[in-house]
Amino acid sequence: MQKTALLSVYDKTQLTSFAQGLTDLGYRLISSGGTCRHLQEAGLEVTEVSSLTQFPEMLGGRVKTLHPVVHGGILARRDHPDDLASLEAQGIQTIDLVCVNLYPFAQVLAKGGDEGELIENIDIGGPTLLRAAAKNFRDVWVVTDPGDYERVLDQVKEAQGKEPYAPEILAQRRLLAAKVFESTFHYDQLISSYFQKATAQTNDNLTTADLSDDQLFPDRIDIEGQRLQVLRYGENPHQRAAFYRFGQLSDSGLPAAQQLHGKDLSYNNIQDANAALELLYEFDQPCVVALKHMNPCGLAVGKDIYQAWQAAYQADPVSIFGGIVAANREIDLQTAQELHEIFLEIVLAPSFSQEAFDLLAKKKNIRLLTLPMATKQSLDRLKLVSVMDGVLMQERDLYKVQREDCKLMTQAAPTDDQWTDLINGFSVVKHCKSNAIVVFKDGVTLGIGVGQSNRVGAAKLALEQAGDRAKGAILASDAFFPMPDTVEMAAQFGISAIIQPGGSIRDEDSIQVCNTKGIAMVATGIRHFKH
């Protein structure tokens, strides 16, 4: 009996040669829609699916191959007499090879298609055909990747002279079936992820606060990622690691960055660059972040990127050695000349002037990365963190305090300039490991204390690093003061204003110290622990 192949593809790469190869092997071709027209225009003899099913395509092509004549022919088990008798009773012929690839949902999503366009690119018939053929892989060849066409033709030709269930033939078909299920899983995961994000995404009428826990957090998550590269090693040389892209590629995350120069990124490079990027997204004005071990060691805003760079470097010229620099404006030659004098692992920016790139690229190992600067609002609303045998999911901390959100707690009030530094300093401390204190003045970090087991210890590090520069500066704390000791130390260094969440049962003790020393203090009502 003549074998039958069903071909229905969106991506028609190498399709004609594959179909011709099947014809040469004695296969009858059936197809639908654009695939059928494509093959007929190439001069191949093809039977339209609708003539096989005696049912026309309908609903604008939404229903083409969803029919018992098609799926009966695919799913019938050739070694089950009852299955074959059922086909004969209904006049259904077996289908022995299925070649399908799917509507380009990923590509439409990547280009920013609206929901209507996305929905029309959710393939229904394609995955159904693929899953049916993969389920019955013992009897049906199934192929979804044009890159497999030549190999499948060779395997089909080789199988023609062998027993239908020969172990080597079954092994080949099983591998193709596995590839199909991997492909359809990825496809469905991408669609599911889109709908989850669309549900959680804020807009003019809906915020995540309006969603119930059940709406925001699905009952089940399937974490599916594409491996971008195997890394040289993990956090330490004895650990192996790889970098994966999770979900659909956007223009705001590190997987979208282009590496223009330098050796491959390491595990720690990627962690640091991501931490710098998240902090950078807090600021609209020209900003430079110097970062080491996932904590900022210097941040500054300025009238241009060179001014911001100079101030960020001077904030801590020691810790920046071997760190990374991230900027939200193009790196120009003037800035590059100073960057070139320092040992840096990474420079990340939206772009480099040609002169700046040529200079920095003279260093063999420095990594130069470009990434368009997205808005903070474009970041994913949900964040995942792995733990042993589990995953934590939470809303990303996208809250940025505003002046009107704060409550004045002291007799002294901040000046307008101090208010600007208070708001910016609180944005910086949000990205420092708790317990964290930041000393900030005139758009520049002067001292940063991070990752301490007590708050006064973090303050001591930040204030001593700032030294004499702390006089007249502001101090930002990621959480409230359980004791007045941090405020007392801040007063000794000449801090003029403090921003902190408030809410301690001993708030009055800290307020009293501020009133005695003439320090302004405001409470945000929001804490920014980062673990």
What's the burial of 198, exposed, middle or buried (CB within 10 Å: 0-12/13-18/19+)? exposed
Using the structure block, give the residue that is written with the tokens 């307008």: 416
Helix residue ranges per DSSP H, 234-377:
267-280, 305-315, 333-339, 354-360
For residues 84 and 78, give the distance between their C-alpha atoms in angstroms, rounded to a whole number. Answer: 7
Sign of CA dihedral 148, 149, 155, 160: positive
Residues for the chain: how many in total?
531
Q: Side-chain half-sphere of 362: how many Cα atoms within 13 Å?
A: 12
For residues 531 and 432, give the distance between their C-alpha atoms in angstroms, rounded to a whole number. Answer: 9
For residues 304 and 353, give the distance between their C-alpha atoms in angstroms, rounded to a whole number. Answer: 15
For residues 441 and 474, give the distance between their C-alpha atoms in angstroms, rounded to a whole number. Answer: 6
For residues 26 and 41, give the distance between their C-alpha atoms in angstroms, rounded to a whole number. Answer: 20
CB 349 within 8 Å of CB 331: yes
Q: Taking the CB of residue 19, how many other CB atoms lie within 10 A of it?
A: 25
Sequence-distant (6+) residues with CB within 8 A of 388 are none
For residues 267 and 102, give the distance between their C-alpha atoms in angstroms, rounded to a whole number. Answer: 34
The residues that bridge with 440 in the sheet, in sequence order, are: 445, 474
**Coil, helix or strand at residue 290:** strand
Output b/e per residue, 272-284; b: 16+ Cβ within 10 A: bbbbbbbbbbbbe
Told to judge if 530 belongs to the known catalytic residues of this protein, a careful annotator would answer no
Q: Is the peptide bond before 203 cis (omega within 30 degrees of 0)?
A: no
For residues 216 and 238, give the distance between their C-alpha atoms in angstroms, rounded to a whole number. Answer: 38
Strands of 37-187, DSSP E? 47-48, 97-100, 141-143
Packing angle, helices 68-75 and 81-90, rounded to 10: 160
Q: What is the DSSP string of 343-400?
A: --SEEEES-B-HHHHHHHTTSSS-EEEE-----GGGS-SEEEEEETTEEEEEE-----
From 3, 179, 186, 293, active-site residue: 293
Told to judge if 293 belongs to the known catalytic residues of this protein, a careful annotator would answer yes
Using the structure block, give the residue that is written with the tokens 């699905």: 218
Nearest to 273 by CA among 287, 299, 293: 293
Using the structure block, give the residue that is written with the tokens 């599911």: 192
**Coil, helix or strand at residue 289:** strand
From 3, 12, 135, 179, active-site residue: 135
Active-site residue set? 135, 293
